[in-house]
Chain A
Amino acid sequence: AQKVTQAQTEISVVEKEDVTLDCVYETRDTTYYLFWYKQPPSGELVFLIRRNSFDEQNEISGRYSWNFQKSTSSFNFTITASQVVDSAVYFCALNQAGTALIFGKGTTLSVSS
């Protein structure tokens, strides 16, 4: 069975703080994809990143970075120097062969000025 756990329900930070959103997944497959999505207060879902299970290289995109560790089944997301516009619900998701995406329950990030 596959499962995604986002243990942090809500996180509150002050602008310019760094924040890490945790994601732990379970799968029996060796080939799978991991995703992060952002849902701002306006409600739409925005794709952020996809990671292949064979690629453990960390990814950095501007203030965003992702740390994928197969040894701990984790795919954590860090926002550096957070901004108010980063306030949103963030979802981690897993796809293994032959199934649709399974989403975690999401982490609500609130960034105050």
Chain B
Amino acid sequence: NAGVTQTPKFQVLKTGQSMTLQCAQDMNHNSMYWYRQDPGMGLRLIYYSASEGTTDKGEVPNGYNVSRLNKREFSLRLESAAPSQTSVYFCASSEAVGTSGSALYNEQFFGPGTRLTVL
């Protein structure tokens, strides 16, 4: 039982390059999330997927796209990387309690993070 896995662990990009961060969970959770963590800013939500087939913007979605490929996988894509996207990216998953419009979420389980540097 691996929990939440992320690839890659480290990545260096040049400005303008694109890449996809991969995330998978084996806990059969409905909900998945992408966060970025910057010094002094805490964790900020980029996008989340309450259930398979749905995605919603979080606090800082600009410059990113996501795909909920299936229940297990949730990828984050940077189409044209910018230095401002240098950060540590965390994927998380959780189980929801209640219906989608009024769901509360149990504790989130986090992946190990991806450290991305954009030059």
Tell me the A residues contacting B by CB distance below 8 Å. Answer: 9, 31-33, 35, 43-45, 47, 50, 91, 95-98, 100-106
Contact = CB atoms under 8 A, between A and B. Distances in A.
Given A103-B43, A106-B42, A33 B113 contact: no
Interface of B: 31, 33, 35, 40-45, 48, 56, 58, 88, 90, 92, 98, 100-110, 112-113
B42 A95 contact: no
9 contacts: A35-B107, A43-B112, A45-B43, A45-B110, A91-B42, A100-B45, A100-B105, A103-B35, A105-B41
Given A43-B88, A45-B110, A100-B33, A105 B42 contact: yes
Decide if the interface of chain B is mainly helix, strand, loop or mixed.
strand
Contacts, number: 58
Given A105-B42, A106-B42, A47 B108 contact: yes
A91 B44 CA distance: 12
Is the contact region of chain A dominated by helix, strand, or loop, or is it mixed? loop
A47 B35 CA distance: 16
Given A32-B104, A43-B88, A91-B42, A100 B110 contact: no
A95 B105 contact: yes
Contact of A44 (B35, B104, B112): B112
A44 B113 CA distance: 7
A48 B58 CA distance: 24
B104 to A, nearest CB: 6
Contacts of A45: 43, 90, 92, 110
A22 to B, nearest CB: 15
